[in-house]
Chains A and B, each alone.
Chain A
Amino acid sequence: MADYSMHTVRNNNPIGKIALRWGLYVMLGIFAVFYLMPFFVMLTTSLKSLDEIRTGDLISLPREVTLDAWRTAWSGACTGIQCEGMRPYFWNSMLIAIPGVAISTLLGALNGYVVSQWKFRGANIIFSLMLFGCFIPFQVVLLPMARVLGMMGIAGTIPGLIFVHVIYGLGFTTLFFRNYYVSIPSELTKAAKVDGAGFFRIFWSIFLPLSIPIIVVTVIWQFTQIWNDFLFGVSFSQAGTQPVTVALNNIVNSTTGVKEYNVDMAAAIIAALPTLLVYVVAGKYFVRGLTAGSVKG
């Protein structure tokens, strides 16, 4: 006991400890500022008028706050020849992302449930193949996917884009749910079988209620993927079905005289806002769910 207290006194010089603490905070602060800097510039630029941008400093606060750029970005900016702003494309993205996330999450949950709890001959091979699907680059699937969409008659439509995202996301969602369900003791399924429950009953009554954390993780992951996707969006859409990322690109790249930095910045923030919101709302589940999969009980 005496030995222990001496030891702690020697190692815990109060001044050294405080200095260490502060050093840590300063380091973390520097990193935080570094990461937030671009966002700060975007936000301030979007609130400035064009004149002020031209004459002022990049990182100075706006002298006069104006929301004109935001208004233009939302409903007036030109993409090519149309000048409707981000609004219609924003809704397109919603129409793609929400069903895409819902369907791929549900199917991933079912797949994970089958692969982990209803082992059949070749279950591991099928799972490995699905896992392999996670690593296939977007570019590789572009041409075959275009053919498939054409044959299905949904090329260039919003259902077509939903289909693409569901297929591409399935590997990830299956992986998430499989790894989560694999830690649930198989005795739970056995008990339910003896109790008389069938395949869907067990899934619905026992596994889904257990899955809230992993559902949150999957929803965040899929929403971010689908919302931020550009390549599929630009490849498989046509006028009227383009997602927000494509619209953002078009707004920024449409050169009609003056480059409107404030509008570009506002449009970029609008495009990023939903994913930001999802993280803020469900972020703590994300970190928790990625690391912990076990259920006690």
Chain B
Amino acid sequence: MSKILEINNLFKSYGPVEILKDINVSIDQGDFLVLVGPSGCGKSTLLNCIAGLEPITSGNLSIGGQDMTTVSPKDRDIAMVFQSYALYPTMTVAKNITFGMKVRGVDQATQDEKLAYVAQQLQIEPLLKRKPGQLSGGQRQRVAMGRALVRDPKLFLFDEPLSNLDAKLRVEMRTELKALHQRLGASMVYVTHDQIEAMTLATKIVVMKGGIIQQIGTPAEIYNRPANLFVADFMGSPAMNLIPAKAVKNGIGTAIQIERNGNTPIVLSDTKNLDLPEDVILGVRPEDISDASLRANNETQEADCVIEIVEPAGADTFAVMELGGKHVTARLHSETSAKAGETQRLAFDLGKVSYFAPDTGKRLN
């Protein structure tokens, strides 16, 4: 199957400022690609380049197997949903949705038919005669999606479409969007700064920082095997614990020593045959540190830790301690016996940890 979107060696600069550096991404039909990164990482610029709203400085870009590098937005067979929804304020919902077809000279009967179909899909039939100003945020969002859906394009582009909604609605719309993607089997590119949105929606994630792609992979790959310290820190909430440690080779594997303030170091032994430098940064997800009494796994290593803060969060309880000069969060069972100021025996799941080089930030295992 041919690639629905292919970007090769894309560079984008505004004058002397390079915004995007050597971007290479491709997706297949039906993929849901999420571009995620902090503000100013260039993800929205990349989306605008895909849409043709920003010219690219060098490199090439094809959509549906056709070179689109210099083609104008209207001829790219794309539809786009914007953060501010960008509904035409003076037109009714129906006119908003059919504007694209009207501009392209689609006949009235087809327009009506498609409008009715999309309105039914998104359950916005009662709103068709209203103006955008009379709609709530969630309704505007639906109309904006309707305007994209009605075009039935090769590629859908979403520019942070949920970030103006309140938290509850955002979660609802996220689920709905995912359902829509599965139902339509459409190809989508989605920009967000919210890593949870990225994880839940994507079939493929691109993590960006400073105009450079940090890692491309499935949500599981990104989460479990982050390529560098930035990705490790950015993806996941609470963030991955990044603990400075010393790796010492011994007979059975590698001993990982973590300094503790006013206490003997924790020594964990990794039995996998790893080739690690002496100084490493140990990356452990909070859920991979658990109550020793509740966990039995070959690769877990236990240690006594002094808990500083206990934060109950309903389903889980987060315990914060200090290891290697960093605050380390453990995700414990909600009925844990851990108390602030007391020692708790915790299990570290070394089967899931990541090791990073402190100087380059690159993944080592």
Contact = CB atoms under 8 A, between A and B. Distances in A.
A201 B73 contact: no
B88 A192 contact: yes
Contact of B83 (A187, A193, A295, A297): A187
A194 B80 contact: yes
A194 B154 CA distance: 13
Interface residues of B, number: 27
B89 A297 contact: yes
B195 to A, nearest CB: 24
Nearest to B159: A187
Interface in A181-208: 185, 187-188, 190-197, 201, 205-206
Q: Which of B79, B87, B89, B151 has the most CB of A within 10 A?
A: B89
B86 A193 contact: no
Interface residues of A, number: 19
B103 interface: yes
A194 B90 contact: no
A14 interface: no
A54 interface: no
A191 B80 contact: yes
A294 to B, nearest CB: 11
Contacts of B99: 192, 195, 197, 205
Contacts of A145: none
Contacts of A194: 51, 53, 73-74, 78-80, 100
B168 interface: no
Contacts of A188: 86, 88
A209 B80 contact: no
Contacts of B133: 296-297
B103 A196 contact: yes
Contacts of A296: 89, 133
A210 interface: yes
Contact of B74 (A185, A196, A295): A196
A193 B74 contact: yes
Nearest to B98: A195
B82 interface: yes
Interface in A240-297: 295-297
B24 interface: no
Nearest to B80: A194
Nearest to A296: B133
A297 B73 contact: no
Interface string B74-96: 10001110111011111100000
A195 B82 CA distance: 13
Contact of B84 (A187, A193, A196, A206): A187
A201 to B, nearest CB: 6
Contact of B100 (A187, A196, A210): A196
B193 interface: no
B132 interface: yes
Contacts of B151: 195
Given A195-B99, A196-B103, A297-B132, A190 B88 contact: no
Contact of A297 (B51, B78, B87): B87
A297 B130 CA distance: 13
Contacts of A210: 89-90
Given A188-B88, A190-B53, A297-B133, A195 B147 contact: yes
A195 B99 CA distance: 7
A297 B147 CA distance: 16
Given A190-B80, A205-B99, A297-B132, A195 B87 contact: no
B104 interface: yes
Contact of A295 (B89, B104, B159): B89
Contacts of A201: 103
Contacts of B73: 190, 193-194
A193 to B, nearest CB: 5
A126 to B, nearest CB: 19
A188 B91 CA distance: 12
Contact of A193 (B53, B87, B89, B159): B53
A210 B104 CA distance: 22
B172 to A, nearest CB: 22
Interface of A: 185, 187-188, 190-197, 201, 205-206, 209-210, 295-297
Given A190-B51, A194-B74, A210-B89, 18 more contacts: A187-B82, A187-B84, A188-B86, A191-B82, A191-B88, A191-B147, A192-B99, A193-B74, A194-B53, A194-B100, A195-B74, A197-B99, A197-B103, A201-B103, A205-B99, A209-B90, A296-B89, A296-B133
Interface of B: 48, 51, 53, 72-74, 78-80, 82-84, 86-91, 99-100, 103-104, 132-133, 147, 151, 159
Q: List 7 tightest A-B contacts by C-beta distance, closest first.
A: A195-B100, A196-B74, A191-B86, A209-B90, A187-B86, A187-B82, A196-B103
